[in-house]
Amino acid sequence: MCLAVPMRLVAVEGPEGRAEVQGVGRSVRLDLVPGAQVGDWLIVHAGYAIQVLDEAEAAETMALVAVAMADDPAPS
């Protein structure tokens, strides 16, 4: 299963940035969101930021992910 998650952009250096969510950070490519700025919420998939979100959209998406994870039975 592929999953794109909202992450907040915390640093930008050229075409790459650093994004974080819930204490987890990763490097992301910013080629597909050229106007992204530090503080923006991004949808990140496979190391690429693919969309800029407002904070309300990011919170809604994170809530949906939490519900999906709660419904998914833990592996045995």
Question: For the chain, how many structural domains are there in total?
Answer: 1
pLDDT in tens, the chain (76 residues): 567 889 999 999 999 999 999 899 999 999 999 999 999 999 999 999 999 998 898 888 888 878 877 876 666 6
| Nearest of 47, 49, 46 to residue 8 by alpha carbon | 49
Which domain, by its residues, includes 18?
5-71
Q: CATH code at 15?
A: 2.30.30.140
Tokens 């915390």 correspond to 10
Residue 76, in any domain of the structure: no
Separation CA 24–CA 34 (nearest Å): 23
